[in-house]
């Protein structure tokens, strides 16, 4: 989020400023005690930098996970729409009572064709949306996306 990015930038700037300060002090250091104290500060600063990197990485992972979960919810809604379209087509396609040799009315055939094409487009769009998110999703989100793909396959 924006807050995380702002804090990350602020912390990185502070570490950079501290590194510059230590470098300046290192040039002016006289005697073994001062050199040892500066080396100790550098070690602590390096450890702090490593900790900061861990936290930045964790925050990035958390953000990707949250975005992934939001995506799963959005895609689930799309797939529910696709499933509803498929159900509509199946309902329309149920055998219609006709006498032998009698054909289905044109309006019924047209409605069935339109519903089929619409359902097919909706399923295709939902499948495409899920697949486009699958490769970059965190592992927890990937399993949820896989389940959504299975649902789109059943619907198509």
Q: What is the DSSP string of 67-118?
A: HHHHHHHHHHHHHHHHHHHHHHHHHHHSPP---TTPPPPHHHHHHHHHHHHH
Instruction: Compute the distance between CA of residue 119 and CA of residue 87 in angstroms, rounded to an integer.
Output: 9
Average pLDDT over the chain, rounded to an integer? 86
Q: Compute and round to an integer the Cα radius of gyration of the chain.
A: 30
- The pTM of this model reads 0.65
Which carries the bigger pLDDT value, residue 54 or residue 81? 54
pLDDT at 46 (0 to 100): 94
The model's pLDDT over 11-56, given as tens digits with 9 standing for 90+, comes to 999 999 999 999 898 888 888 998 899 999 999 999 999 999 999 9
- Return the structure tokens found at 78: 């799309």
CA distances (Å), origin 94, targets 86, 89, 100, 104? 12, 9, 16, 12
CA distances (Å), origin 99, targets 64, 95, 96? 59, 12, 10
- pLDDT tier for residue 70 given thresholds of 50, 70 and 90: very high
pLDDT at 102 (0 to 100): 66
pLDDT at 51 (0 to 100): 94
């Amino acid at each position: 989020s924006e807050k995380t990015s702002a804090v990350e930038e602020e912390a990185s700037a502070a570490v950079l400023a501290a590194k510059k300060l230590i470098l300046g002090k290192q040039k002016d250091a006289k005697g073994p005690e001062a050199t040892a104290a500066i080396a100790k500060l550098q070690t602590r600063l390096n450890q702090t930098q490593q900790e900061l990197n861990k936290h930045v990485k964790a925050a990035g992972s958390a953000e990707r996970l949250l975005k992934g979960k939001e995506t799963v919810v959005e895609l689930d809604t799309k797939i529910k729409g696709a499933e509803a379209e498929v159900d509509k087509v199946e309902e329309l396609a149920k055998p219609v009572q006709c006498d032998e040799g009698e054909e289905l009315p044109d309006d019924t055939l047209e409605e069935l064709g339109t519903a089929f094409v619409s359902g097919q487009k909706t399923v295709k769009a939902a499948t495409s949306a899920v697949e486009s998110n699958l490769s970059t999703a965190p592992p927890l989100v990937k399993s949820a996306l896989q389940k959504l793909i299975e649902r789109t396959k059943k619907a198509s």
